Amino acid sequence: MTALICGSYAYDHIMVFHDHFKNHILPDKIHILNVSFLVPDMRREFGGCAGNIAYNLKLLGGDALPMATVGRDFEPYASWMDKCGIKRDYIKVIDDAYTGQAFITTDQDDNQITAFHPGAMSFSHHNKVADAENVSIGIVSPDGKEGMIEHAQQFQEAGIPFIFDPGQGMPMFNGDELITFLQQATYLTVNDYEMQMLLDKTGMTPAEVANHVKALIVTLGAEGSEIVTKTDTFLIPAAKAEALNDPTGCGDAFRGGLLYGIMNDLDWQITGRIASLMGCLKIEQYGTQNHSFSMDQFKQAFKEHFNMSF
């Protein structure tokens, strides 16, 4: 089975401010804010939702086929994809744009100030689901608004089951647009905050949301996740990480695990735990695509964390 992963590619610039923002922001001068933070530590990571999901699915041995629009500065990322064995058939370069860029500054309280430049992501609607061949499942993850709307519609028209993963793109959509996504999607995955936002925007109850899809997957941070189907509710425990180094990209790792489970017809108890372990292994490493393992190592870790095998 092949998964078409629609979403963003981006460079994440992660900077560390060795102090506290609150020490340099004057509350009574917030209306004329003009501050500068010295950030001696900086790293650039490969990121973006589609990039991260494809990387994690590939680690599990799944056939990941990302679809995204990127900019003229994409060559280093393209080389990384080639090294990882991830196909670039449907990565479209927009010559007069930059690849998406996130600039994240973190202080010593783990507060973050982030600026995001969408760049080529805004042209995601230039890609068409129908251009990809032999696709058995899809995912619509955060991307340009028009692209997300069109790709969901195209998956439905092609009869391809897909996961709707609004993520940080949730604020772009009104209630009616979100209801349309639910009517088109096969699965919905959100975190608990995004779930509440969805309910507020649509006026729906959790039961009504779950009734629209084959499965509703809600992540609950350290509390694990909940998977609701038409007939059952599964409470999935969180895998316990040895170190909580970097939560960025954990949700994407989780979604890579979901895709793997669905693609291999595994039950929700196993699928949810695979997704949980993927998030755990990611949070132990800095960056979104720096964790790695063999499938034998993953299965052994799965057994150690959950006292069961798959």
pLDDT in tens, 213-224: 999 999 999 999
pLDDT in the model for residue 110: 76
For 285-304, what is the mean pLDDT? 96
User: What residue has token string 């990127």?
Assistant: 70
3-state SS, one letter per residue, for 21-72: HHHCCCHHHHHHCCCCCCCCEEEEEEECHHHHHHHHHHHCCCEEEEEEEEEC
Q: Describe the strand order of the beta sheet including 100-106 as a list of residue ranges.
A: 41-47, 10-16, 100-106, 112-117
- 74 HSE (CA, 13 A, CB side): 27
For 22-51, what is the mean pLDDT? 93
Q: In Å, what is the CA distance from 135 to each residue of 155, 159, 208, 287?
A: 10, 10, 29, 29
Does the structure show a pLDDT above 90 at 51?
Answer: yes
pLDDT in the model for residue 153: 98
Sign of CA dihedral 289, 295, 296, 298: positive
Q: Hey, what are 56's tokens?
A: 């994690």
pLDDT in the model for residue 248: 87
Coil, strand or helix at 283: helix
pLDDT in tens, 130-173: 999 999 999 999 999 999 999 999 999 999 999 999 999 999 99
pLDDT in tens, 36-45: 999 999 999 9
Residues 6+ apart with CB under 8 A from 110: none
pLDDT in tens, 65-74: 999 999 999 9
Q: Which residue has the higher pLDDT, 165 or 29?
A: 165
For 121-136, what is the mean pLDDT? 97
Q: What is the percent of the chain with per-residue pLDDT over 70, rounded to a whole number?
A: 100
In 3D space, the residue among 38, 40, 39, 66 whose CA is nearest the CA of residue 51 turns out to be 66
- Domains detected in the chain: 2-18+41-306 (3.40.1190.20)
pLDDT in tens, 87-118: 999 999 999 999 999 998 988 987 889 899 99
**Confidence bin at 278 (pLDDT 50/70/90):** very high
Q: What is the percent of the chain with per-residue pLDDT over 90, rounded to a whole number?
A: 91
- The model's pTM: 0.94
Q: What is the CA radius of gyration of the chain?
A: 19
Per the CB < 8 A criterion, the answer to whether 49 and 249 are in contact is: no
Q: How far apart are CA 48 and CA 139, in angstroms?
A: 14
pLDDT in the model for residue 254: 98
**Confidence bin at 175 (pLDDT 50/70/90):** very high
Does the structure show a pLDDT above 80 at 9?
Answer: yes
